[in-house]
Amino acid sequence: MVSEKTAVKEKLNSYELIIILRPDLAEEKVEAAVENVRKFIAGKGGTAGETQKWGKKRLAYPIKHFGEGSYFLLKFQAKPDQNRELENSLKISEDVLRHLLVKIE
């Protein structure tokens, strides 16, 4: 017999992720980087929602010798335990200058 705890799906939380990509990337590399994040979220049981392209903006200070970056906002729902893995993959990516993951209440 299946217990009630295993029958209930784990709750998905809502998140917003801002990604700043290197400005020297070709357009297809930029789109591929954003699509890889969306696939990662979907592959871990989350649901990727709206993606907004904010375009290239000047940075307040240089990051990795770049003075500007390509900004993206991704809204998605995911399990709370997958955030660390997502952030680790963003940290090691050479295309991502910075990211910010925020839980929406």
Where do we find the tokens 């998605």?
Answer: 76
| Interatomic CA distance for residues 36 and 31, integer angstroms | 9
Could you tell me the CATH superfamily of domain 24-98? Ribosomal protein S6/Translation elongation factor EF1B (3.30.70.60)
- pLDDT at position 9 is 61
pTM value is: 0.83
Over residues 71-92, mean pLDDT = 92
Query: How far is C-alpha 67 from the geometric centre of its chain's CA atoms?
Result: 22
| Interatomic CA distance for residues 54 and 18, integer angstroms | 10
Statement: residue 4 has pLDDT above 80 = no
Tokens representing 90 are: 């963003």
12 and 47 Cβ atoms separated by less than 8 Å: yes
Greater model confidence, 80 or 67: 67
- pLDDT at position 11 is 84
What tens digit of pLDDT does each residue of 21-38 get? 999 999 999 999 999 999
Over residues 52-78, mean pLDDT = 94
